[in-house]
Chains A and B, each alone.
Chain A
Amino acid sequence: MTGTEKVLLTVEGLTKAYPGVVANSNVSFRIMEGEVHSLLGENGAGKSTLVKMIYGLVRPDTGRMTLRGQVYEPSAPKAARAAGVAMVFQHFSLFEALNVAENVALGMENPPKQSELSQRIRQVSEAYGLPLDPARLVGDLSAGERQRVEIIRCLLQDPKLLIMDEPTSVLTPQEVEILFKTLRQLSAEGTAILYISHKLEEIRALCDEATVLRRGKVVDTCQPREKSARELAEMMVGETLTPPERSGKAPGPVALDVSGLSARSPNPFGTALQNIHLTVQRGEILGIAGVAGNGQDELLLALSGEIRTAKDAVKIDGKGVGDLGPNERRAVGLVSAPEERLGHAAAPDMSLTENALLSGAVRKELTSRGFIDWAKTRTFAAGIVKEFDVRTPGIGTAARALSGGNLQKFVIGRELSQDPSVIVVNQPTWGVDAAAAASIRQALIDRASGGAAVVVISQDLDELLEIADRFAALNGGRLSAPRPTQGLTVDEIGLMMGGAHGMEVAHVHP
């Protein structure tokens, strides 16, 4: 924050409707110069549409914007950049086979010579505490370093407003700290930052002002530092949230025993699993954290049976299942829910009934001698819809027609309804609204209380700290030794996740 209390951007009555949904309705707010302003809201609250309009990607139906007193109507991102608005997207647009300087040059209108550009990149990266070697290949960089490339690309344009969309989802806590330092420095120099996130603690730590969106409308504004994370969440959701309840029962015998699990990734850019050891007792939830792309998908595949390994690398109730496929493992009692809902956990164009059959056929005995009992399958699907409060016109609806949260409730519900002894889920509440996320977490806890061994792989630290009994982190395909969640500090968690990736390398080339 600076003393120059000049208005940078005003947004007045912005409305954008898509067929069937009003993404933004009469949205107004303003950002002062040097202010760190947060847009708060659940998935589908209209945050993305709003920033896309500010960045010139989407044109509003009605309403107007001004930038430093001038009428601001960007027709394309190019115009927005020319006016001093820059944006760092959640998904990077970088070429892995090119080096940092070449990638930066690709995003510029009139790039200077390579040597000159490298020089400027070095200057900016040093000035803002973002160590980065312009000559390194992007393919060799960690996610945090790649983000720095994007940020520096923006900073070279000397922006007045920097929009950041969910910037910390790929960072360890240490890397988040580095990023925040940079953002605070920028703010102190008068650059305003529009910060989009659903991580409430971060918003409390960083932002001066917050505009809360719900169903496309501005419902509140506040100063996040003066509110608790809980209060912010309730402003977002518009209802009172109850934290999940735990039963204090002592865990039972070991149900899932993984020892010396190593596996190549089926994906050419994936991460191989290296010598993973873990045990989960009945009645216990093991939380596995990690920055995206550190072997989470591979771990789920190796546990679900989509990747096969040595027989005794994975044991369920003492029985070696490492060489068995998904259905054989289901028969023994292991169910799983992969991260990607559409296309992996569920077939997009198939009905909910058919999707219930997809993974439920074995344990729910929905077939006899290979023939499908559709009546029984429909009953199973209807039961999931009812018990897990899936909002859908009916069980004949195609999976892709459901909202992300409702489909996730269906997918998780389908697995939990099979009376499993081991449950493995990856990103169970990713992209799910707060109310649905709370009910999914509660359901996982209830199954653990009921005697199931639960593994939750998640990139949401708050979620893991809330529900996990023990905690481990994946880093480069290796799993840290699990530790009890109680008493863990964020610093310790960060170190388990690998600390600040790539910092050492950057120091070598100052």
Chain B
Amino acid sequence: MFILEKRPNPSRFWTGATPVLAVVLTMIAGGLLFAALGKNPFEAIRTIFLDPLIGDNAWYYRAQLLVKAAPLVLIAIGLSLGFRAGIWNIGAEGQYILGAIFGAGVGLWFYPSQHWYIFPLMIIAGGFGGWLWAMIPAILKTRFGTNEILVSLMLVYVAKNLLASMAVGLMRNPEGSGFPGSRDLSAYPSAANLEIFAGTGIHWGVVAAVIAVIASYILLQRHMLGFQIRLTGQAPRAARFAGVKPERLVVFCMGMSGILAGLAGMFEVAGPAGKISIDFASGYGFTAIIVAFLGRLHPIGILLAGLLMALTYVGGDIAQSNIGLPSAAIQAFQGMLLFFLLAVDLLSNYRIRFNLKEAH
């Protein structure tokens, strides 16, 4: 028999150690899963975790790592602000799509003229698109008390349909022989989100992600607004006592996460994805929720978690093509990561005590 005993203070050691423990447990359980599928577990784990970093084609995969991690980190940073305050924006995927549509829309509007200001305008439009989409659940919540989880999630499906209609309608490439999808923005120099240093994978979205990490760190640690966000999440009544206006906080947090998700969408559509297409939305907005929690809603943690999650994506792709792991197994593997993280999370607030006396 063992009992859980609440710690008077959350354990600093376990707060830092649980993500590491979760990764180790995921490797073990994932290894068993791969073994059950008839694959060599050690080879599979090595392929997923090490090949992208130090394998034969690591120069290519390392760049891919940053390309995948940037939108995850950017979105997760925005989500973490709301999550800390108890505001649950689950619809980052929709805001990501809207950011891409708005950003691409500005780029396509100017096509084919060449101006230096087109790309900056696209950035502003992308952020605005995400913000606009996030304001719908925010205003409905503050005005009518609706649940932001449901509204923001539902709006993801609206956004997906909007994306599809854009890809086959308004934004379809007139020179694309009728195929769905817009012009290739990455081939349009004034609108392209190109690599800043060739071959490294570092595009403007990576820069934005790093800035977001630093800015949110400063906000949460040094600024009154960040303090109010943390306070509201931990003790809503104490927050009201401290003079926090909950409605303003909802609008701010939803707005920030919308802007960052919109930016991520815009950088993606102008760079790695290149164009508005029906299958543009690839789930970054949902995976970012995992990244935010894996990173303990802490900016630095999110940066590391985003890189780790990108690693499982890139490594998972390699494992699929090289050793034939089914993609469902990779997804299950990623799911395990969140599962174990939430499970071992208990250790930071509780200690496990083995008690033989009470067992009878």
Residue positions of A touching B, CB distance < 8 A: 19, 304-306, 325-328, 330, 338, 340, 343-350, 354, 357-359, 361-362, 367, 370-372, 374, 397-398, 400-401
Complex: how many Å from CA A311 to CA B240? 19
Complex: how many Å from CA A398 to CA B6? 13
B8 & A344 in contact (Cβ 8 Å cutoff): no
Does B115 make an interface contact (CB < 8 A)?
no
Enumerate chain B residues within 8 angstroms of A344, measured Cβ to Cβ: 235, 237-238, 241
Enumerate chain A residues within 8 angstroms of B8, measured Cβ to Cβ: 398, 400-401
Complex: how many Å from CA A465 to CA B237? 31
Does B178 make an interface contact (CB < 8 A)?
no
Complex: how many Å from CA A464 to CA B186? 75
- Closest chain B CB from A357 CB (angstroms): 7
A19 & B223 in contact (Cβ 8 Å cutoff): no
Q: Contacts A326-B243, A371-B223 known; A347 to B9 CB distance under 8 Å?
A: no
A354 & B241 in contact (Cβ 8 Å cutoff): no
Q: Which of B5, B8, B224, B242 is packed against the most chain A CB atoms within 10 Å?
A: B242
Complex: how many Å from CA A346 to CA B234? 10
**Complex: chain A residue closest to B232, CB-CB:** A347
Enumerate chain A residues within 8 angstroms of B227, measured Cβ to Cβ: 354, 357, 372
Chain B 198-240 interface residues, beta-carbon cutoff 8 Å to A:
222-225, 227, 230-231, 234-235, 237-238, 240
Q: Contacts A327-B243, A345-B238, A347-B234 known; A401 to B9 CB distance under 8 Å?
A: yes
Complex: how many Å from CA A343 to CA B239? 9
A398 & B10 in contact (Cβ 8 Å cutoff): yes
B223 & A350 in contact (Cβ 8 Å cutoff): no
Cross-chain contact of B241 among A338, A357, A367, A370 (Cβ < 8 A):
A338
B241 & A358 in contact (Cβ 8 Å cutoff): yes
Enumerate chain A residues within 8 angstroms of B235, measured Cβ to Cβ: 343-344, 346-350
A372 & B5 in contact (Cβ 8 Å cutoff): no
Enumerate chain A residues within 8 angstroms of B5, measured Cβ to Cβ: 19
Chain B 106-145 interface residues, beta-carbon cutoff 8 Å to A:
none
Q: Which of A349, A367, A374 is packed against the most chain B CB atoms within 10 Å?
A: A349
B231 & A358 in contact (Cβ 8 Å cutoff): yes
Interface residues on B, range: 20 to 34
Complex: how many Å from CA A344 to CA B237? 5
> Beyond A346-B235, A398-B8, A398-B9: 14 further Cβ-contacts under 8 Å?
A19-B353, A326-B242, A327-B242, A327-B243, A338-B241, A340-B237, A347-B235, A349-B10, A349-B234, A349-B235, A350-B231, A350-B234, A359-B242, A367-B224
- Closest chain B CB from A405 CB (angstroms): 16
- Closest chain A CB from B346 CB (angstroms): 15
Enumerate chain B residues within 8 angstroms of A372, measured Cβ to Cβ: 222-224, 227
- Closest chain B CB from A307 CB (angstroms): 10
- Closest chain A CB from B360 CB (angstroms): 11
Enumerate chain A residues within 8 angstroms of B245, measured Cβ to Cβ: 325
- Closest chain A CB from B266 CB (angstroms): 28
Complex: how many Å from CA A361 to CA B8? 26
B1-33 near A? 1/0 per residue, CB < 8 Å = 000010011100000000000000000000000
Enumerate chain B residues within 8 angstroms of A340, measured Cβ to Cβ: 237
Complex: how many Å from CA A245 to CA B321? 83
Which 4 residue pairs spanning A and B have beta carbons closest together?
A327-B243, A347-B235, A401-B8, A326-B243
- Closest chain B CB from A390 CB (angstroms): 16
Cross-chain contact of A304 among B9, B230, B241 (Cβ < 8 A):
B241
Complex: how many Å from CA A510 to CA B338? 64
A343 & B237 in contact (Cβ 8 Å cutoff): yes
Enumerate chain A residues within 8 angstroms of B9, measured Cβ to Cβ: 397-398, 401
- Closest chain B CB from A267 CB (angstroms): 11
Enumerate chain A residues within 8 angstroms of B10, measured Cβ to Cβ: 349, 398
B241 & A371 in contact (Cβ 8 Å cutoff): no
Chosen A-B contacts, 30 in total, with CB atoms closer than 8 Å, are A304-B241, A305-B243, A306-B241, A326-B242, A326-B243, A340-B237, A343-B238, A344-B238, A344-B241, A345-B238, A345-B241, A348-B235, A349-B234, A350-B230, A354-B227, A354-B231, A358-B231, A358-B241, A358-B242, A359-B242, A361-B224, A361-B242, A367-B224, A370-B224, A371-B223, A371-B224, A372-B224, A372-B227, A374-B222, A400-B8
